[in-house]
Chain A
Amino acid sequence: MAEALLSLRINGESVHAAAPAHWTLLEVLRYRLDLIGSKQGCDKGDCGACTVQVDGEPVLACLTLACAAAGREVRTVEGLGWSPEASNGCHPLQDAFDRWDAAQCGFCTPGILMSAEALLRKVGRVVTRDEVREALAGNLCRCTGYTKIIDAVVDASEMLAAPRDET
């Protein structure tokens, strides 16, 4: 089938890939660009494992046409590691998830991180547990019962807020 050349902005860089027009952003990320962090779980927007950010908002890559993402800033879990908040390639959220053992199988985690990062950025202060629940309500996790994830997101928001409080 005919493939179109896509010019995308991904994690702050211009990226080009050829893909059929009916491919989703998720397919292009995973199978053309080898950005495998975004996962395929449910096929159609029911689980959130494919969550990426488009222009800063967390969205479902499995229901985003790749060609419709052209001209917009796409951010994937791979890009978290080189965000300004990151140190040693690790975003404070990733560090908090690691300390809290908030990832069990880790399959939903990249999507959850992208939703959580958007929340922390939007709120810009320490988040409440209920705010985390609301913001992550489109991301399913089958392993954790969510408890440690909420712990980790709140913890990360405290870590991010701490240096600001000092200054």
Chain B
Amino acid sequence: MPEQPGPEEDVGPVDGQVEAPVDGPVDGEAPESEPEPVRWQLGKSHRKVDAMERMRGITRYTDDIKLPGLLHCKILRSPHPHANILSIDVSRALAMPGVHAVLTGEDLPVPYGVIPWTPDETALACGKVCYVGDGVAAVAAIDEDTAIAACEAIDVEYEPLPAYYDPEEALAGDHKINPYAKRGNLSKDVVLEFGDVEASLEQADVVVEGEYYFEGTTHGAIEPHCAVAQVEPNGLLTVWSATQVSHYLHRELAKVLRRPAHTIRVIQPPLGGAFGGKSEPFDLEFCVALLAIRTQRPVKCLYTREEVFYSHRGRHPMRMRYKTGFRQDGTITGVSARTFIDGGAYSSFGLVTTYYSGQLLCAPYAFPAYRFHSTRAYTNKPACGPKRGHGSVQPRFAIEVQLDKAAVELGLDPIELRRRNDIGPDGMTVNEFKIGSNGFLECLARVEAASDWGRRATLPYGRGLGIAGSTYISGTNYPIYPNEMPQAAVQVCLDRSGRARVFSGANDIGQGSNTMLAVIVAQELGLELDDIRVLSADSDLCPVDLGAYSSRITLMVGGACLDAAQKLRRKVRAAVAKRWELPARRVTLIDRKAMDLEDPSRSVSIVEAFQWAEADHGLLGEVGNYNTPKDRHGSYRGGTIGASPAYSFTAHVAEVEVDPDTGVVEVKHIWVAHDCGTALSRRIVEGQMEGSAYMGFGEALMERHDVDPGHNGVHIGPSLLDYRMPTFLDTPELHALIVEAPDAQGPYGAKEAGEGPLHPSIPAIANAIYDAVGVRLDSLPFAPPRVLTAIDDRLALEHAGELPTFKLGRGRAGLASARAAGGVA
């Protein structure tokens, strides 16, 4: 094949182009030897593109940024849960040596909020404080010690006000917590009804009623929030922040600082975990920005762990009253839900949370009638917001326990009951969301088999298996602020050396989105992952992305990246095909080569292929876009909220051991099967599933984020000692079972994997506890005293003949003697 030079041969001029200079190599000159084949494969396990530098300690997270003349910022916080600020005197602080500037609420008075409809907070308190920890003033000084001393020298006169810690009390209360609230302490009220719920419950053979309480939890990312700001010599304000939504931060900075967005650059350095806890602007970002402007020096603010707890935006406490109707065969006739949501002092994403608390419940089970009424109230607590599985982890707990109760009452296997209610693929939910691919039945089958579910019938007293299922969104169909622009956009460039660059606004928060982008580009262009440089989340260098929330990045940003990469692939194939005088469809890009599909011995290195393409098309750069389908949501007010291009599905089986003498619940195993569409990177998907199951497990058993109403609303333990995140020794064996039901909306069929796999954790454990000892834990967390009380109550009822003996004959003899020895009735 003399006309098809191999990679070892000199290509020579093509189409009369000027020959390369002979006196030295040029960039991208054809390599001497056969290119090394790539080591990775789509859908298999492979390394991440940016993990090694993190493990070597080289990666610069936000707090690792060093700038000459750096000043340190500390924020003075309110010791009162609710108070008017009568006066603030900063003169003593300002007079201290080493103090460069002090800000108070009046310096940053423009209200903001991540949801444009609810701008109800200011960077620092204006006129009043709404919870213990609310920011009041900010100091920039030469070091942290000086800044702390200066904060202590700020004199604030407060007039304490009555505080509310319960949403229903707050709604009935006389004192308005948040001045931006429209009515009393109501933050958001949503009532939606689909079908005739009353009739559906009347027609039911069995109606299960339950009241559930989900105490709050927080994200617990190991990296505390941190921000650095600097004014460039040309006046550009640069803000580095440990955020997962750099674009929303950019917008709010422009708004609050009252300067055009083009005078601000936002950079998200590599991030040390987020889980939703960094998905909106926080006081520190505004403070360092304005302090940098005021002092004309770089300013950094690093939260203490305690401040991270006050910033919170974690899982909302919810009190949920559910009625669910079932026919004898286990099929659901209707669901009615009344939910009170404890919002804390600010809205955050609360408008969305309120909708999500009902809207995301309409799969994986079909039901013909559904009504939910969710009410979010302001309270004098750290503001709640989105935590992994935003708004739907709490109601998922309620409904999955409801299903379990029904299974017991109807004498059905709880997996079978779920199977009978499966909504299936390509259907429509009762609230008019269009479902695409759906692997829920396979998820159930996988956890059923892996957990050896059949042994459940013979497990002794104290041991139990529990099942729960769920669904979640792969991004939302509509952005947070209305606009006609694409939901995601990516720019990809090819280099004549055989490398590719991806420019993306997406925030890699540890979930691996940079790797996901590299995977897509490498797959389309036949490259090794190391051949690709992903530049992300820098507003000056990258196209806008909306951020790492609602599990949108793989589907949306991945989709945009695929669009760009495919355009480039077409150009490269065309250039090769032209030289080989073949139809382009015969050319593929694989293993760092362009290859003739019908004659695989004919190939050219990808370097040459890129050079041919660049010669034909000019510099190889393409943009890609992704836009959501606009025909998959409900045609009613609020019908867009919660609608997604594609839905993931999950099932968990948890195996627990409950100690009937102590109430201690030990989770031995969690099998988590998750339909992620297509797994692009197997171990990364497994890691998301394991991390999700872990996080739900911690929430179920030991994590508590709350304030103490009896003691001035102080946090019950704002530290990683008191907020108990499970350690290596506590965590069960986690078994990730990937299920693939590819969805036409996702790149290569991929859907989300970051949040969905958390949902069934808590109800699966609750249901396993019932299976073990016959008690229902309808309030979180399942702490030993609560479990023990429930066991005591059941034993008392059994003793009185009001309940049958649970698991009679299966290990109960030991219990009776133990109880007798312990002297407990």
Binding site for B on A (CB under 8 A): 1, 30, 34-44, 46-47, 49, 76-78, 80-81, 89-90, 94, 97-101, 103-110, 113, 132-134, 136-150
The answer to whether B57 touches A36 (Cβ under 8 A) is: yes
The verdict on A105 contacting B56 (CB below 8 Å), with A46-B719, A136-B728, A145-B690 known, is no
Given contacts A99-B47, A134-B729, A146-B694, contact A37 B273 (CB under 8 A): no
Chain A residue contacts of B220, Cβ below 8 A = 142
Min distance, Cβ B723 to any Cβ of chain A, angstroms: 9
Q: Would you give the shortest CB distance from A104 to chain B, in whole angstroms?
A: 4
Enumerate the 4 nearest inter-chain pairs by beta-carbon distance, A residue then B residue, closest first.
A37-B57, A105-B510, A106-B54, A107-B272
CB of B562 within 8 Å of the partner chain = no
A144 to B305, CA, bound (A): 21
| B58 and A144 form a contact (CB under 8 A) | no
Contact status A94-B55, CB under 8 Å:
yes
Q: Are A107 and B61 in contact (CB under 8 A)?
A: yes
Contact partners of A145 in chain B: CB under 8 A: 687, 690-695, 731, 734
A45 to B, closest residue via Cβ: B721
- How far, in angstroms, from A139 to B692 measured CA to CA in the complex? 18
* Inter-chain contact A101/B45, CB cutoff 8 Å: yes
Residues of B within 8 A of A108 (CB): 222
Q: How far is the CA of A134 from the CA of B731 in the complex (A)?
A: 12
Asked whether B512 is an interface residue with its Cβ less than 8 Å from the other chain, the reply is: yes
A143 close to B63 (CB less than 8 A): no
Give the docked Cα–Cα distance between A43 and B719 (Å). 9
Within 8 Å of chain A (Cβ to Cβ): is B500?
Answer: no
Interface centre among B60, B273, B681, B728 (most CB of A within 10 A): B728
Contact A106 B272 (CB under 8 A): yes
Most buried by B among A90, A94, A105: A105
Contact with A along B56-70 (1 / 0, CB 8 A): 111111011010000
Q: Are B48 and A98 in contact (CB under 8 A)?
A: yes
Q: A81-B56, A105-B223, A106-B51 are in contact. Are A144 and B719 (CB under 8 A)?
A: no
Q: Give B681's nearest chain A residue, CB to CB.
A: A101
Chain B residues near A39 (CB, 8 Å)? 61, 222-223, 272
B727 touching A137, Cβ below 8 Å: yes
Evaluate whether A144 and B725 lie within 8 angstroms (CB atoms) in the complex, with A39-B223, A103-B51 already known. no
Q: A107-B61, A142-B273 are in contact. Are A101 and B52 (CB under 8 A)?
A: no
- B221 interface contact, C-beta 8 A: yes
Query: Which one of A41, A132, A142 contacts B224 once the chains associate, using CB atoms below 8 Å?
Result: A41
Q: CA–CA, A144 to B727, complex, Å? A: 11
User: Can you list, as one digit per residue, whether each of B568-605 has a CB less than 8 Å from chain A (1) or not (0)?
Assistant: 00000000000000000000000000000000000000
What are 24 A-B contacts defined by CB distance under 8 Å? A37-B56, A37-B57, A40-B302, A41-B222, A42-B721, A44-B305, A97-B51, A98-B48, A98-B51, A98-B52, A100-B683, A104-B510, A104-B512, A105-B221, A105-B273, A106-B51, A106-B59, A107-B272, A137-B729, A139-B728, A140-B222, A140-B725, A144-B694, A147-B733
Contacting pair A140 B720 (CB below 8 A)? yes
Q: Which of B720-751 contact A (CB under 8 A)?
A: 720-721, 725, 727-729, 731, 733-734, 736
- Kindly identify, within residues 296 to 336 of chain B, every residue whose CB is under 8 Å from any CB belonging to chain A: 302, 304-306
Provided the pairs A34-B66, A106-B54 are in contact, do residues A41 and B690 lie with their beta carbons within 8 angstroms?
no
Asked whether B145 is an interface residue with its Cβ less than 8 Å from the other chain, the reply is yes
CA A148 to CA B607, docked complex, whole Å: 36
Is B353 part of the binding interface, using a Cβ–Cβ cutoff of 8 Å?
Answer: no
Which chain B residues lie closer than 8 Å to A105 at the CB level? 54, 221-223, 270-274, 509-510
Q: By the criterion CB–CB under 8 Å, are A107 and B273 in contact?
A: yes
Q: Contacts A36-B60, A49-B222, A133-B728 given; 15 further ones with Cβ under 8 A?
A: A39-B272, A43-B305, A105-B270, A105-B273, A106-B272, A107-B61, A137-B727, A140-B720, A140-B727, A143-B687, A146-B690, A146-B694, A146-B731, A147-B733, A147-B736
Cα A139 to Cα B512 in complex, Å, equals 22
- The verdict on B275 contacting chain A, using a C-beta distance below 8 Å, is yes
Q: What B residues does A34 contact at CB under 8 A?
A: 66
> Given the complex of chains A and B, what is the CA–CA distance between A50 and B26 in angstroms?
46
Which residues in A have their C-beta under 8 angstroms from that of B304? 43
B64 touching A144, Cβ below 8 Å: no
Write the chain A residue with the least CB distance to B45: A101
Residue contact A40 to B683, C-beta cutoff 8 Å: no
Report chain A residues within 8 Å CB of B511: 104
Identify A1's interface contact among B145, B273, B683, CB under 8 A: B145
Say whether A47 contacts B686, CB under 8 Å.
no
Q: Quick check: is B707 within 8 A (CB to CB) of the other chain? A: no
Given A36-B60, A141-B222; A41-B51 close (CB under 8 Å)? no
* B239 cross-chain contacts in A, Cβ below 8 A: none
In the assembled complex, B249 has its CB within 8 A of some CB on chain A: no
Q: Judge if B684 is at the interface, Cβ distance under 8 Å.
A: yes
A110 partner residues in chain B, CB cutoff 8 A: 55, 57
* Cα A134 to Cα B690 with chains together (Å): 19
User: Which residue from chain A places its CB closest to the CB of B272 in the assembled complex?
Assistant: A107
CA distance A110 to B693 in the complex (A): 24
Q: Please give the distance in Å from A37's CB to the nearest CB on chain B.
A: 2
* Among A39, A113, A142: residue with most chain B CB under 10 A: A142
Using Cβ atoms and an 8 Å threshold, which residues of chain A touch B271?
A: 105
* Contacting residues, chain B, for A44 (C-beta < 8 A): 305, 719, 721
| A144→B694 CA distance, assembly (Å) | 8
Residues of B within 8 Å of A37, CB to CB, are: 56-58
Give the residues in chain A near B734, CB-CB below 8 Å.
145, 147
Beta-carbon contact of B273 and A143 below 8 Å = yes
Select from chain A the residue with minimum beta-carbon distance to B47: A98
Q: Once the chains bind, are B510 and A42 in contact (CB under 8 Å)?
A: no
Residue from B48, B274, B720 with most neighbouring chain A CB atoms (10 Å): B720
Nearest CB on B from A119, distance (A): 12
Contact yes or no, B305 A42, CB < 8 A? yes
Q: Which residues of B contact A138 (CB under 8 A)?
A: 727
Contacts of A147 in B (CB 8 A): 686-687, 690, 733-734, 736
CA distance A36 to B226 in the complex (A): 15
Chain B residue with the shortest CB-CB distance to A99: B47
| Residue from B55, B270, B274 with most neighbouring chain A CB atoms (10 Å) | B55
> Which residues on B sit within 8 Å (CB–CB) of A104?
273, 510-512, 687, 691
Give the complex CA separation of A134 and B730 in angstroms: 10
**Inter-subunit contact B683/A148 (CB<8 Å):** yes
Contacts of B733 in A (CB 8 A): 147
A42 to B302, CA, bound (A): 12
Interchain CA distance A136-B726 in the complex, whole Å: 12
Cα of A78 to Cα of B736 in the assembled complex, Å: 32
Chain B residue numbers with a CB within 8 Å of A137 are: 727-729
**What B residues does A139 contact at CB under 8 A?**
728
Q: Does B48 lie within 8 Å of A41, measured CB to CB?
A: no
- Cβ B510 vs Cβ A106 within 8 A: yes
On chain A, the residues within 8 Å of B681 by CB distance are 101
Contact of A101 among B48, B221, B270, B694 (CB under 8 A): B48
Among candidates A76, A106, A136, A142, residue contacting B55 with C-beta atoms closer than 8 Å: A106
Inside 8 A of A106's CB, which chain B residues have their CB?
51, 54-55, 59, 270, 272, 510
B55 touches A77 (CB 8 A): yes
Residues of B within 8 A of A143 (CB): 273, 510, 687, 691
Q: How far is the CA of A78 from the CA of B53 in the complex (A)?
A: 10
> Could you tell me the distance in whole angstroms from the C-beta of A43 to the nearest C-beta in chain B?
5
B60-100 contacts to A, CB under 8 A, are 60-61, 63-64, 66
